[in-house]
């Protein structure tokens, strides 16, 4: 395994996840007209063919 290629590829993937997830959340908040409160969110990472499923849960405050 080439660690430099692995790290760059992983960072590219995680950046894509972060940017597109933020856009999806902002779109939801805007379309739903939300101005306060919070969102309970969950992100699931699945590595196909490996059996790996990793979940991250969190709260996004809108205030």
pLDDT at site 38: 98
Write the secondary structure of 1-42 as one string of H (helix), E (strand) and C (coil): CCHHHHHHHHHHHHHHHHHHHHHHHHHHHHHHCCCCCEEEEE
Tell me the domain boundaries of the chain: 3-61
Q: Which residue has the tokens 């306060």?
A: 36
Q: Which residue has the tokens 């992100």?
A: 43
CB 57 within 8 A of CB 40: yes
pTM value is 0.87
Residue 1 has pLDDT above 90, yes or no: no
Identify the band that residue 2 occupies on the pLDDT scale cut at 50, 70 and 90: confident
User: 62 by DSSP, 3-state: which?
Assistant: coil
Average pLDDT score over the chain: 97
What does the pLDDT look like over 17-44, one tens digit per residue? 999 999 999 999 999 999 999 999 999 9
pLDDT at site 12: 98
| Structure tokens belonging to residue 39 | 């969102």
């Amino acid at each position: 395994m080439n660690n430099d290629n692995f790290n760059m590829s992983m960072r590219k993937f995680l950046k894509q996840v972060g940017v597109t997830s933020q856009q999806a959340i902002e779109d939801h908040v805007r379309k739903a007209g939300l101005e306060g409160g919070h969102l309970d969110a969950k992100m699931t990472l699945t590595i196909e063919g490996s059996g790996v499923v990793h979940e991250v849960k969190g709260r996004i405050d809108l205030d």
